[in-house]
Structure 1
Amino acid sequence: MNSGDSRQNELRTRPTAALVRAAIIGGVSLALALVLGRPDVILVGLPLLVWALVALARRTLRGEERAVVDPQQRVNRRSIEEGGTAAVTVRTDPGVLTAATLPMPPHADVAPRHGALAGDGEVQLRISAQRWGKIRVGPMHVLVADALGAYRAQRTLAPAEVQVVPASTVLDAPVEVPTPIGVSGVHLSRRRGDGTALSEVRAFRPGDRLHRINWRVTSRTGQLHTNATFTEQDTEVLIVTDTIADIAPAPWSDAEAPTSLDMTIRATSAIARHYLAAGDRVAVFDIGHLIGPVPAGSGPRQLRVLTTALSRASRDAGALRPARRLRSVRSGTLTVVCTPLLSRDTIAQIGVLVSHGADVIVVDTLPPSIGDTSVLNGKPLRIDGKVSDRFWPEAWAMRRLLREKTVRELREAGVPVTAWEGPSSLAPVLLSLSAARTAPRMRRS
C-alpha cells in the first residue's frame, strides 16, 4: 500500500475530554501552588497531571502516529440458513482498544446479548438468524482508543446485508410421482423398456438384448427366455406459491409465530429440496409475483438458485399483490400449490391446473393460530389478562369456517389438500397417490 492509500485509510484520533480535564486541573493546581507559595496545593491535581504526562510521553516515546488504521468490517458469511450464524469482525491496529456497537436486527439474535463488545484491535460479534429473508447488519458504531483512554476516535461503518435462506428441511415422504413424464430417472414407469425393475419373464424375441437372457428359466424349459423390465423416468415438479398476501397472527399473540408467507416459503423450499435430491426437474411459479418465476432445472445449482430466490422475497405487511395466471402446464406434471386458500384467483388457478391434466396437490399454509373457532363457543379473548372487546378473532374464525367449504369442494373434485405441519406433511398424500397409480383399473369392453 502506498502512502497516499494509507493516509486515506487512516482514522484521525483526538484527545479525550478526560485528558483535557486532567491537563487543565493539573496545570491550574501547579500554577496555584507557585503563586500562593503552598506546595500542598499541587497534591490536588498531581495524579491527574502525572496521568496526562504519562499518556503524552507514551504516545511520543513509542513513536505512535496521530492516526490509526480505519476500522474494517468483514462478514464471514453472506448467506446462511435459518438458525445459522454469521460473524461480523471489526479490525483496527493491534494494541488499540476497539469497541463496537451493533443495532439489534429484527428476527435475529446477537452475541453478546446487547450487541456491544470491546477488544484489543479486533472484536467479533455473532448474528443468529431466526427467520428467512434479508438481515441488515448495521450501521455499526466503532470507537477506538489507546490503552490509557487519552486519545480516541469513532466511526460509523456502512451496513451490510446477510441473506438468510429457508432451513434445509428434509421431507419424510416417498419420492414416487403419479405420472413420470421424463426420459430417465428414479421413478418407475408403467411402460416396459430398459430399467432395473422386473416386469415379467417371457420368451425371447428378435431385438431383445442378450444380457437380459434368463439362463435359469431357459435351461429349465429348453426355450430361450428373457427378463422384461419397466423403464425408470424422472418427472417435472411445478411448485405454485401464493404470495398475494402475507397473513400474520394477531399482534398480541406469539411474536415468533410464523405467518402464511413463512409457511409458504418453508414448504416450497422443503418440497424443492426433496425432489431435486431425487434427480427431478423443479420449477416455481409465483401467483403473487413476490418471488418471481424460477425456470425448471435440476441438481445442486438449481437448489441454490431456488433458495436464493425464496430468500429475496420481501415482506410488505398488509400489502396485496395482483395475481398472475399460469397459462399452460404439461400434462402429468406433479404440481404442488402452497397457499392459505384465501384468494379466489388462487382457487381458480387450481381449477385451471387440473383441467390441463396436471397432478395437483394443495398444501395449506394458513397458520393454525389464525381463526381459532373456540372463540365462537363463548370463549373470551384476553389480552394482558383482561377481556378484550375486539372482534378480530371472531372474524377470522368465521373466515376459517367459510374456507372449509373450499377445502371440501377441492377434495370432492379429487384434489388432495394437506396442512403444512412440517417434514411429514406430504407423506400421506404421496402414498395415497402412489397407491392409486398402481391400483387395478376396470377395463372397458
Structure 2
Amino acid sequence: MTVGGIIVAGGRTSYSRPVDGPHGWRPTSAYTAAVTVGILLLATSVLAGRADIALIGIPGLLAATWAHAGRPTTPLRADLHEPPGPTTPGELTATLQLAAGPGEGADVVHLRITAPGHRTTHLTLAARPQGQARDVPLGLSSVRTGPQQTFTVDLRGSRHGTWEEEPTQVRAATRLVLPGAAPLGRLPLPRRLRGLTGPHSSRRLGDGTELRDIHPFTPGDRLRRIDWRTTARRSPELDTLYVRRTYSTAEATAVLVVDSRDEVGPDVRTWRGYGIIRVDEPTSLDLARHAAASVATALVEAGDRVGLEDLARRRRPLPPSAGRRHLRRLVHGLALAHPKDLASAHRVRPPQLPADAIVYLFTTLLDDDPLRLVRTWRTAGHPVVVIDTLPDVHTVIESHLAIAWHIGRLEREDRIAALDVEGIPVVRWAGSQRDQAAVRFEALAHAARRHTPGRTP
C-alpha cells in the first residue's frame, strides 16, 4: 500500500538503530478538559444549589480518576531495521519495529514518516499487547544513486486518549545506492594493447588466434605451428617448412574519469543548490554513475583492465585492474562520487594515466575544463571518448533563467562542435538517446578496428 508517496508493504530486515530522545507521559487535552469541566460543574452546583448540575460533572471526574489510576509507566520502544550493505536503485525498504516493555503502555501509536523528496505520511496504529512487537514495513521508490537519506519517523504513543507520550524520533542511517549497468556490446579500445595475454589480438607476433602470415620455419618456432598443407604446396621435397604466425593476445587498459564537480537535474531552477531535485528524475551524476558502471561492466567482462578517476577527489584513485572483485570496487567508488566545493575542485594538472590507456570521460560539458583535459590527454597519445551526461533540461518559464540557459546551451554546443572537429567522439547518455549509446559505441569500435594499421577489417 502506498501512503503519501511512502510505501507501507511487507518484509523484514535485520539492521537495528535505537531510538533517540527522552521518554515521558503527560495528560492529553481531553484529560485536562474532563477534570476542569468536572470541577467547574461541581462548583456551579454548590453555588447554585442544584444537584442535577453536579450529576453532569461527576462522570467526567470519575473518568479522569479512572484514567489517572491507569497512568502508563512503560515507554514505547522503536527500532528501525534496514538491509545491511549497499543497495540498488528502485525501492528502498526498512522495517519499523514497535514494542512495549512490561507494565502499562500505549494502546495507540501515532506515526509521521518523512523522506527527502517524498510526501509526509501519517499513520495511526494499534499497539500490540505487552511483550509483543509490531512490524511496520516501509518502502520508497527512487531512481537516484549514491548516498541517500531515507526514513525519518516521528512517533508518539497514547493510552485511552487521556495520556500521551513525549514525541521521539527514529532516523535511518544514510544508505548507499549502487548504480546499475546497462548491457553494451563492443567498446572502443586503445590503439596499443599491453600484457602477455588477454581477450584481444594485438599487433605483435605471439600465440593467438588471428592469422598474421605464413613464414618459413626459423629456430624458435613451435612444431605445432607448422602448416603442412602450405609446406606440401610450396616445398614438395620438404626442403623448407612453413609455419602459421599469429598475432599475440593482449588486454586493453581503460580509465573512467567521472566529472563529479557538480550535480545538476533536469530543472534549471535547482541548479547551484537552490530547490529540491526530484527523486524520480536522475541527475547528471546519476547518469554518469550509470554510464560508467555500464562501461566498466562491459570492459571487465571482456577481460580488460579498468581504472577510476574522480575529478572532484585528488586522492586514492582506483588503479587499473581486472576481475569481478575489482568491478565491485569500481561500482562502489562510483556510488561514493559526489560534488565538492567548486573553488577547490579546479585541477591544475590532469589525472596521470597509464601509458597506452583509453579514457572515458563522463561530464556535462558545462564549462571549459573538460576540453582542456581532453586536449592534454590527446597530446599525450591517449584516445578519448566523451560521454555527455547532462539530463534533458525541462522548459524554463522564468525569463531570466531562460536567457541564462540559452546562453549556456549555446556555449555547450560550441564545445561539442569543437570536440567533433578535433575527432573526439561524444556519446549522449540521457533520455531517448541512452538506448542508442550501445549502437554508437559499436560504431566507434568498428571504425577504430578498421583504421588500425596492420590489422584486417
Scaled by the length of structure 1, what TM-score is found?
0.73
Given the alignment, which residue of 329, 332, 336 partners 2:360? 336
Corresponding residue number in structure 2 for 1:105: 116
Cα distance change on mapping 1:341 and 1:286 into 2, 3 Å = same
Structure 1: how far apart are the matches of 2:170 and 2:286? 29
Q: CA deviation at 1:415?
A: 1.8
Structure 1 gaps of 5+ residues are 1-7, 60-64, 373-380
Q: CA deviation at 1:356?
A: 1.7
Corresponding residue number in structure 2 for 1:377: none
Structure 2: how far apart are the matches of 1:93 and 1:217? 88
Q: CA deviation at 1:245?
A: 3.9
Corresponding residue number in structure 2 for 1:114: 120
Corresponding residue number in structure 2 for 1:410: 419
Structure 1: how far apart are the matches of 2:69 and 2:224? 91
Corresponding residue number in structure 2 for 1:181: 194
Structure 2: how far apart are the matches of 1:23 and 1:219? 116
Corresponding residue number in structure 2 for 1:268: 292
Q: CA deviation at 1:153?
A: 1.1
Given the alignment, which residue of 117, 135, 138 partners 1:125? 138
Corresponding residue number in structure 1 for 2:259: 242
| Aligned 8 A contact 1:173 1:424 in 2 | no
SS in 1 for 2:345: coil
Structure 2: how far apart are the matches of 1:140 and 1:33? 47
Corresponding residue number in structure 2 for 1:376: none
Structure 2: how far apart are the matches of 1:429 and 1:122? 48
Corresponding residue number in structure 1 for 2:175: 163
Whether 2:269 is the aligned partner of 1:251: answer: yes
Structure 2: how far apart are the matches of 1:78 and 1:115? 26
Q: CA deviation at 1:34?
A: 9.0
Structure 2 gaps of 5+ residues are 1-19, 128-133, 272-276
Structure 2: how far apart are the matches of 1:262 and 1:117? 32
In the alignment, residue 352 of structure 2 is paired with which amino acid?
S
In the alignment, residue 157 of structure 1 is paired with which amino acid?
Q
Corresponding residue number in structure 2 for 1:62: none
Corresponding residue number in structure 1 for 2:333: 309
Corresponding residue number in structure 2 for 1:86: 93
| Aligned 8 A contact 1:166 1:266 in 2 | no
Corresponding residue number in structure 2 for 1:144: 157
Structure 1: how far apart are the matches of 2:383 and 2:246? 25
Corresponding residue number in structure 1 for 2:14: none
Given the alignment, which residue of 21, 31, 41 partners 1:19? 31
Corresponding residue number in structure 1 for 2:402: 393
| Aligned 8 A contact 2:206 2:246 in 1 | yes
| Aligned 8 A contact 1:101 1:116 in 2 | yes
Structure 2: how far apart are the matches of 1:369 and 1:133? 21
Structure 2: how far apart are the matches of 1:292 and 1:346? 21
Aligned pair count?
Answer: 410
| Aligned 8 A contact 2:79 2:98 in 1 | yes
Whether 2:319 is the aligned partner of 1:295: answer: yes
Given the alignment, which residue of 444, 447, 451 partners 1:432? 444
Structure 1: how far apart are the matches of 2:51 and 2:423? 102
Give me the identity figure in percent: 28
In the alignment, residue 74 of structure 2 is paired with which amino acid?
A
Q: CA deviation at 1:333?
A: 0.9
